[in-house]
Amino acid sequence: MTTTTEATPEIRSFEADVAKLLHLMVHSVYSDKDVFLRELVSNAADACEKLRYEGLTDAGLLGDDGQPRITVTLDPDARRLTIEDNGIGMSEAELADALGTIARSGTKAFMDKIAGAKDAEGSQLIGQFGVGFYSAFMVADQVEVVSRRAGADTAAAWLSDGLGTYTIRPVETTDAPARGTRVLLHLKEDAADYTQSFKIERTIKAQSGHVPVPIFLKEKPDAEPKQIADGAALWTKPKSAITPEEYKDFYRSAAGQFDEPALTLHYRAEGLHEYTVLAFVPETKPFDLFDPDRAGRMKLYVRRVFITDEAQILPRYLRFVRGLVDSNDLPLNVSREMIQESPVLAAIQKGVANRILSELDKLSGSDAEAYLKLWDNFGPVLKEGLYEDYARRETLLGLARFKTTASGGEWRSLKDYAASLKDNQTAIYYATGTDLDRLATSPQLEGFRARGIEVLLLADQVDSFWVTSGVDYEGKPFKSVTQGLADLSLIPLPEGEEPAAAASDAVNGFIAFVKEVLGDAVSDVRASDRLTESAVCLVAPENGMDRQLEKLLAGAGRLDTTAKPVLEINPHHALVEKLSAVESNDPEVRADAAHLLFDEARIADGELPVDPRAFSARLMRLLERGTS
């Protein structure tokens, strides 16, 4: 065995984000500093699991120490706390890479959040962003990490006071764990109680009692280690032997969440394939929910050996589900790459996704309030499945809930909607936009309201995509209220109400005039049957793209050209009737009015006038006329 020579430690700076994060972490006063222990124990357990996995193909890595173990050692006299594992360990390069940067995406978002977060939220955030290790600096003013990678004959030490720089140096292997990592915390004065054994034992049992690696505690450096957690994987125990509290603790330590699970699912699948599932739906939104990679975090185990958390066990629209699947059938020595191809994994993926959706469905029936809360959090993500997962579309449509013009702010299902269809109603109508309140008052809805036709108000970005993907519900297509002709005349008005008379010749003449004036700016100008109060609105041409989707795609630079809208004019609006009566030999007023009506319709849609300067000149001209 060779040992390394003493060298001057090299001083390195933290990546800018780490330095900022450390500053935030140390200077925010979290009420719950205990999280650091959960993070370090969880890293130690991960390291043991990684070794267990690599040991499958390279038994030599385990040497004569095949039992994974985490040892926490207290030293009250020196005010020190050490967490040591005999896991995979880190080489010098890995140390610098893992403990000088932040690997995960979304760090910027995290920083913004944590800067404004309240105490409890702050500690919740730490685990979710893969910044767990740095939480050590909440309680320590110096942290030393000595590590020796499994199978390596060198060891290295990382040292930092968390103030912007760290050093890395090679150390003698005799000063390092025989294998794995030792994290030594020089505790701050006000964190001295983390050397009290009862406190550490209680905290570890509560936070990390169910990690699949046994944990030992040494009250003093020379004390006998005492086992405080058995490392028995919680999911292998029968359901009846697990308390809700134990599930919750496991969820928190495994998922890095600090809330309660909104739904806990624990079952064993038997038959063709045998596997155990322990999955949780969080009560609050994890912060990586809308990360661009949309990666799930379900872990895959094979007979209690952690294999990977990148197997994408669940479809991406279920990425908010946390937990694990432990398979009995996959070969233990399967490579991570091969797993993706495995028919066993495909069967697991199918089975688990179906089961989760059916549990959600059950919950919607048994506890509507809990379900709606869950929908409130994850509905926008689940709806991605409507255009990504054709096979489960019907199930997902059944799970979907909507705010509608008839729901008074509550959620409605499509079943509710279908039950209140009007006579002759052949489509499910919807309006898309970015803001629910604005949507509810959009002029395009007026005619539908007048006939008591319910309209789904879709304010999530994803809505524009699934509604235009050829979806239907019980044979009824989804149709935008801003698209094509409304055809409302076929649907009877409420009793006692008369349909509006046909547009007068003067109005028809005015509409033709507006069309001529606007020319190429619109694809058509026509009398509207969807307006009852407003004078004008814009809709998409019959076969045009939904206007909201068009705006989204154009905004993202994914459309070269956009369709010209149709300007619909309410033929019974008092202003329209008056304008129609303006002498046609006063073309200037009528032309100004035509442009202003078009601009007004654009403004109601949240857009700017075509030419803001011309708009204001026309408005001034008309106001002057009106007041002179």
Specify the residue, 39 or 446, whose C-beta has the smaller distance to ligand ATP: 39
Specify the residue, 122 or 127, whose C-beta has the smaller distance to ligand ATP: 127
- Is position 41 an interface residue for ligand ATP (rule: CB under 6 A)? no
In angstroms, the CA 61 to CA 50 distance is 11
- Is position 288 an interface residue for ligand ATP (rule: CB under 6 A)? no
For the chain, give the number of residues: 628
- Is position 450 an interface residue for ligand ATP (rule: CB under 6 A)? no
Contacts with ligand ATP, 213-252, as mask; x by CB under 6 A: ----------------------------------------
- Give the residue from 508, 521, 525, 429 showing the smallest Cα distance to 476: 429
Q: What tokens appear for 280 in the block?
A: 């949780």
Q: Which of 25, 72, 131, 382 binds ligand ATP (CB under 6 A)?
A: 131
Longest dimension (CA), the chain: 105
Q: Min. distance of Cβ 81 from ligand ATP in angstroms?
A: 14
- Is position 256 an interface residue for ligand ATP (rule: CB under 6 A)? yes
- Is position 160 an interface residue for ligand ATP (rule: CB under 6 A)? no
Compute the chain's Rg from CA coordinates.
32
In angstroms, the CA 334 to CA 327 distance is 12
In angstroms, the CA 424 to CA 422 distance is 6
Cross-strand pairs, 181: 85, 147
Q: Min. distance of Cβ 526 from ligand ATP in angstroms?
A: 57
Rule CB under 6 A: which of 99-128 touch ligand ATP? 99, 127
Specify the residue, 213 or 457, whose C-beta has the smaller distance to ligand ATP: 213
Specify the residue, 22 or 507, whose C-beta has the smaller distance to ligand ATP: 22
In sign, the C-alpha dihedral spanning 620, 625, 627, 628 is positive
Q: Which of 98, 178, 265, 553 binds ligand ATP (CB under 6 A)?
A: 98
Q: Min. distance of Cβ 276 from ligand ATP in angstroms?
A: 22
Torsion (CA) 95, 96, 99, 103 in degrees, nearest 10: -110
- Is position 47 an interface residue for ligand ATP (rule: CB under 6 A)? yes
Residue 65's alpha-carbon distances to 15, 59, 133, 214, 246, in angstroms, are 36, 11, 26, 14, 30
Specify the residue, 288 or 568, whose C-beta has the smaller distance to ligand ATP: 288
Q: Which of 25, 74, 90, 539 binds ligand ATP (CB under 6 A)?
A: 90
- Give the residue from 192, 4, 180 showing the smallest Cα distance to 87: 180
Pairing of strands 180-187, 476-480: unpaired
Specify the residue, 130 or 162, whose C-beta has the smaller distance to ligand ATP: 130
Q: Which of 18, 21, 35, 44 binds ligand ATP (CB under 6 A)?
A: 44
Instruction: Give the count of residues interacting with ligand ATP (CB under 6 A).
Output: 18
Cβ neighbors of 436 (< 8 A, separation 6 or more) are 403, 457, 459
Q: Which of 181, 405, 468, 483 binds ligand ATP (CB under 6 A)?
A: 181
Q: Which of 43, 71, 377, 580 binds ligand ATP (CB under 6 A)?
A: 43
Q: Which of 41, 51, 61, 88 binds ligand ATP (CB under 6 A)?
A: 88
With b for 16 or more beta-carbon neighbours within 10 A and e for fewer, the 196-222 pattern comes to ebeebbebbebbbbbbbbbbbbbbeee
- Is position 140 an interface residue for ligand ATP (rule: CB under 6 A)? no
Contact between 320 and 289 (Cβ < 8 Å): yes
- Is position 432 an interface residue for ligand ATP (rule: CB under 6 A)? no
Q: Which of 132, 209, 214, 565 binds ligand ATP (CB under 6 A)?
A: 132
- Give the residue from 278, 319, 269 showing the smallest Cα distance to 297: 319
- How distant is the alpha carbon of residue 471 from its chain centre? 24
Contact residues for ligand ATP (CB under 6 A)? 39, 42-44, 47, 85, 87-88, 90, 98-99, 127, 130-133, 181, 256
